[in-house]
Structure 1
Amino acid sequence: MPLATPYYLVDEQALDRNLARIDRLRALSGAKCVMALKAFATWATFPQIAPHMDGSTSSSLNEVKLGREKFPGETHAYSVAWSDGEIDDAIAHADKIIFNSISQLDRFGSKASHIPVGLRVNPGVSHSHFDLADPARPFSRLGESDIGKVEAVMDRISGFMIHCNCENDSFASFAALLDTFESKLGHLFERIDWISFGGGIHFTGENYALEALAQRLKAFAAKYDLQVYLEPGDAVVTQTTTLELSVLDIVENGKAIAIVDSAVEAHMLDLLVYRETASVAPNAGQHRYVIAGKSCLAGDVFGEFDFPEKLEIGSRVTLLNAGGYTMVKKNWFNGVAMPAIAIRRKNGTIELVKEFDYADYVASLS
């Protein structure tokens, strides 16, 4: 019997395709890859993902603890700002800790002297299609930008994190950024043991120059005698997950509008944040519909698409690429039913791994 919608569906075979590319990059480059839990933290998939990675990295105490508990390998701890109430717990669960600023290093660095300590550095250049996600935007709080101040604390750290990419699918762009990093920071790279270039490098894309990236990373590591880390998140799960929906109603107001059992703000929030539309496949046919959510938000619209057949109440709609930065952002806006989570196993069977109900909604409030 088909699962009741709405639900997120993770496809193991699609995930394997991305993991094979990660394996190849690790083998060719010598770089280590740690899973960025900020992008995807559905831990039912970790047994499949973890053997192809070197550990996990975080953006909060909760993610550090989840990584330590559920994801084998190294556990990297990073936060834009640790609080006094978090820092001891974060260090206790971490194999490495990365401070966002020198002031945080000053406050908490001595507590972490028994593990590798890193500092986030902001070189002032980046690749991002969106100002909202640009780590090097004017007045950015993400990392230290004063190289003189960084140089003064080099004896207290063993590594850097330089995260300056967002959805960068161009090796040429990454290579140009790396050239700039070297020109500004090369004298400091010689004094560290490891460096993380963060996430946002879309090297699992079908047309990405993966071999060229691997060669560049390998040469960089050899030049400065250090270990390179990458922090893929969305790159791990891109094109692996769908959001499965059903049509609840069809209304006409200049266009045919199909209302589905979901809400953009609740279940695919990034579409609103970045003013994008969802994707469906094949998005072809003679029947055009606006696919809209059931929340009270007037702009609760997933997009306008073409379908080969007329939609009716009960028709299924599949939205693509609902993994990275989607499931981690789901929320209870309007109390709309939370999508379940299912996995399509490699043998084709679909396994329900998590359902949410009224008790979960109540527990999210007080």
Structure 2
Amino acid sequence: MTSTDSQPGLSGLATPYYLVDECRMLKAMQRIHYVQQRSGAKSVLALKCFSTWCCFDFMRQYMAGTTSSSLYEARLGYEKFGGETHAYSVAYDDDELKQTLKYCDKIIFNSLTQLDKYQSNVPANVSTGLRLNPGLGFSRYSLSDTVAKYSRLGVAFDQLPDGLESLIDGVMLHMNCENTSYSNFSAQLDWLERHLAGLLAKLRWLSLGGGVAFTRDDYALEDFCLRLKDLSDKYQLQVYLEPGEASVSQSSSLVVTVLDLVDNGLPTLIVDAGVETHLLDVLIYRFAPALEGATAIEEHELEAALAQGKTVYRVCGRSCLAGDVFGNYVFDKAIAPGHQLVFTDVAGYSMVKKNFFNGIKMPSICHRDIRGKTRLIKAFSYETFRDFLS
């Protein structure tokens, strides 16, 4: 199977490899920039989702900076991206906070206890924020439901003390995961205003977090911009968005090679990568990643597809994990060992989560710039594996 990504410069590269493509990223970047122009809302890249910094020179033309979840991410954003550096952590220790304050211009605390403990350590040139938990949000998965009952993420509205505005400059809410509905998001803001209008009027900035799929083709982008501008104007706030997946959706591929074809009643392709090792979210959230030249089908559809004579394969990784399964697919044509397969949308939460389980070869990272020039950025060796642990 020939990949559309297999252009000159990649033909001799050994798989597996990730290919990060600025040409494919451009549409999302342009929409992010458009939102800032139309609404005034600035976007900061969520490094927890995507930290492949070979693209940062390109991305900083469209985004205001980065937001982090740890000291290392904050430092990476400061050193490699520039612009605004927002720092957040579920919990800081003394040394991490001291180090983080060297790199950020906004520090966001997760709890009132951390705010009380560390607010006096924050220098005058760093803005202080607090994460709130509105108890209202959107997620299809319990694993990513930040506003669930007993959530440790942020301070509940009914726990906010009087005079909070004297301690902080802004608040951050992260209440969405893959929310594709503008009407749902707008209703969240309506609810937020009903419960928090008094505080918002006394703050300087408001971060609405990530998980809002506003760079999709079918998203109500104009309504989104107008709603954000209205919110900003009403309360005289700088509004921030923290797109992760929305920044890099459809921008990157994982290219693999079929090593074996096993048929124990269901033709199964074994590729030179793994789900747990290289596309961990596929395993966690149990979905089949998009695959070039193939259509994913559900388990209950297998028997019918096979009976109809369709070209069906289960695609699996080569780790010893029984559940190392990318998915079941109907292909456009027959596949054999030696063919390459291309998973077409793997930027978000893949490279940041890759690991050395089973000692499987780590995919290289390749970069295609906006001019179409492709280069190998990083290759991983046995020594990388060896030195990772001790």
- Normalised by the length of structure 2, the TM-score is 0.92
Q: Provide the rounded CA distance (Å) in 2 between the counterparts of 1:346 and 1:316.
A: 24
Stretches (4+) displaced over 4 A: none
CA–CA distance in structure 2, aligned partners of residues 4 and 314 of structure 1: 12
Deviation at 1:347, TM superposition (A): 4.1
Are residues 1:234 and 2:234 paired?
Answer: no
Q: Which runs of 5+ in 1 are unaligned?
A: none
In 2, Cα distance between equivalents of 1:171 and 1:274? 23
Instruction: Specify which of 73, 85, 93 is matched with residue 95 of structure 2.
Output: 85
Alpha-carbon distance between aligned partners in 1 of 2:327 and 2:315, rounded to the nearest angstrom: 6
Deviation per residue, 1:207-229 (Å, 9 max, x gap): 11111100000000000011000
2:106 aligned to which of 71, 80, 96: 96
Q: 2:333 aligns with which of 300, 309, 327?
A: 309
SS of aligned partner of 1:151: coil
Could you say which residue in structure 2 is the equivalent of 1:322?
346
Report if the CA contact (8 A) 2:68-2:74 is conserved. yes
Report the secondary structure of 1:326's partner residue: coil
1:182 maps onto 2:206 in alignment: no
Deviation at 1:146, TM superposition (A): 4.1
2:82 maps to 72
Alignment map for 1:186-197 (pairs within 5 Å) = 186-197=197-208
Q: Secondary structure at the match of 1:48?
A: helix
The answer to whether the aligner puts 1:52 opposite 2:62 as a matched pair is yes
Counterpart position of 1:361: 385
Per the alignment, do residues 66 and 177 of structure 1 end up closer, same or farther by CA in structure 2, a change over 3 Å counting?
same
1:123, 1:184 within 8 Å by CA — same for their partners in 2?
A: no
- Which residue matches 2:299? none
Residue 338 of structure 1 corresponds to which residue in structure 2?
362
Give the 3-state SS of the residue equivalent to 2:102 in structure 1: helix
CA distance, structure 1, for counterparts of residue 128 and residue 323 of structure 2: 45
1:25 and 2:22 are equivalent in the alignment: no
CA contact (8 A) 1:58 1:64 kept: yes
Alignment of 1:157-236 (within 5 A): 157-236=168-247
Secondary structure in structure 1 of the residue aligned to 2:108: strand
Quote the Cα distance in structure 1 between the aligned partners of 2:50 and 2:161.
31
The one-letter code of the counterpart of 2:234 is: K
Between the aligned partners of 1:9 and 1:92, the Cα distance in structure 2 is 33
Q: Give the SS at the match of 2:326.
A: strand
Task: Tell whether 2:266 aligns with 1:255.
Answer: yes
| Structure 1 residue 288, shift from structure 2 partner | 1.3
Aligned letter for 1:77? A
Q: 1:41 aligns with which of 36, 51, 58?
A: 51
Q: Are 1:127 and 2:138 counterparts?
A: yes
CA contact (8 A) 1:286 1:309 kept: no
- Please report how far the alpha carbon of residue 153 of structure 1 lies from its aligned counterpart in structure 2 after TM superposition: 2.6
1:156 and 1:345 map into 2 onto residues whose CA distance is 44
Partner amino acid, structure 2, of 1:314? G
Equivalent in the alignment of 2:291: 280
1:181 and 1:62 map into 2 onto residues whose CA distance is 32
More divergent stretch after superposition (9-18 vs 167-176): 9-18
Q: Distance in 2 between matches of 1:70 and 1:207?
A: 32
Tell which deviates more after alignment, 145-154 or 86-95: 145-154
Distance 1:151 1:248 in 2: 63
Alpha-carbon separation, structure 2, partners of 1:349 and 1:195? 39
CA RMSD of aligned residues (A): 1.3
- Give 1:281 shift: 2.6
SS state of the match for residue 271, structure 1? helix
Between the aligned partners of 1:345 and 1:214, the Cα distance in structure 2 is 29
2:101 is paired with a residue whose SS is helix
Superposed displacement of residue 279, structure 1? 1.4
Instruction: After superposition, give the CA deviation of every residue in 1:49-75 in whole Å (9 maximum; x if it has no partner).
Output: 011111111000000000010012011
- Tell me how far apart the structure 2 counterparts of residues 347 and 46 of structure 1 sit (CA, whole Å): 15
Conserved in 2, the CA contact under 8 Å of 1:144 and 1:150? no
Unaligned runs of 5+ in 2: 1-10, 296-308
Within the alignment, does 1:105 sit opposite 2:129 as a pair? no
Encode CA deviations 1:285-329: one digit per residue, 9 max, x unaligned: 942111000000001000011222221111001112110111100
Q: Any conservation in 1 of the 2:53–2:80 contact (CA below 8 Å)? A: yes
Which shows bigger deviation, 18-27 or 143-152? 143-152
Residue 61 in structure 1 maps to residue 71 in structure 2: yes
Match of 1:270 in 2: 281
Cα pair 1:268 1:322 within 8 Å, conserved: yes
Q: Secondary structure at the match of 1:329?
A: coil
What letter is aligned with 1:69?
Answer: E
* Percent identical residues: 46
TM-score under structure 1 length normalisation: 0.98
